[in-house]
Amino acid sequence: MGQDAVAARKRIEILDAVRGIAILAMVVYHALYDINDVFGFQIRLFNMLSVLEPPFAGAFILLAGVSCRFSHNNYKRAEKVLVLAAVVTAATVLISAYIAPGESIYFGILHFMGFAILLWALLGRALDKIPRRVAWPLWALLFIVTFVMPATYFVGIPHLIGFYLPSQLTSQGWLFALGVPDSTFVSADYFPMIPWFFLFMLGTLIGIPIKEHRLPKRFYTQRVPFFAFLGRHTLLIYILHQPIVFGILWMLTHVLKINL
């Protein structure tokens, strides 16, 4: 048996399947986004499904944290994802300049995951020293109280308790990666370090009992071939799906003159 086959058998297929479902949902969402926002054909379904983007993206981020427990080299993982993120930025800047204005991505989900994995590679051992009974509520609370910060500059629980960030921070412009964009910042896909790194950290905690085989046996033996296949190729799908979807829609609307 080859090394690839052995590695495939060691994978936990249910994790790949969840990742596969999430990437499939993202492909559908981006297709509807292109139809609705880029090509200008208003569809009610897009407005209904737009609320599902954060949960599916959150699933990716949680699984990225889980995967850090299984990776033999998180530095290489981070490098690979960050290179792909740079390619996405370059490609979307060109697309925004010549085809679809406003579609540039400066700190999307790939940028986030690359930096989150890199931070884990650098600080994971130190962060693991936080007792788990403290870490669970800590990361959950930090995620909750900073969830709306990038959009509102508010830290806390809206209408209950919290505070607004000072204008000295919100006007800087270069803090967008941390979750403090200024009023001129625009990115078609935006997942800053705050609040999403705290969700990523919850993923690293979830990965502990999974790696230690403390879940029911069925979790490790369940097979979901189609979705697991998608889940094993999420990066490739993420990179290729938008050009393919955009190209198909452009052909339908500009060459075949089909009215979506």
Ordered DSSP codes for 83-132: HHHHHHHHHHHHHHHHTSTT---SB-HHHHHHHHHHHHHHHHHHHTTS-H
Structure tokens, 44: 């009610």
- pLDDT: which is higher, 32 or 230: 230
What gap in Å lies between CA 70 and CA 18, rounded to an integer?
Answer: 16
E strand or H helix at 57: helix 53-68
Read off the pLDDT of residues 43-71 as tens digits, 9 standing for 90 and up.
776 666 677 778 888 999 999 999 999 99
Per-residue pLDDT at 3: 41
Confidence category of residue 82, pLDDT binned at 50, 70, 90: very high
Cβ neighbour number for residue 205 with a 10 Å cutoff: 20
Read off the pLDDT of residues 164-176 as tens digits, 9 standing for 90 and up.
999 999 999 899 9
8 Å CB contact between 243 and 30: no
What amino acid occupies position 150?
A: P
Read off the pLDDT of residues 105-143 as tens digits, 9 standing for 90 and up.
999 999 999 999 999 999 999 999 999 999 999 999 999
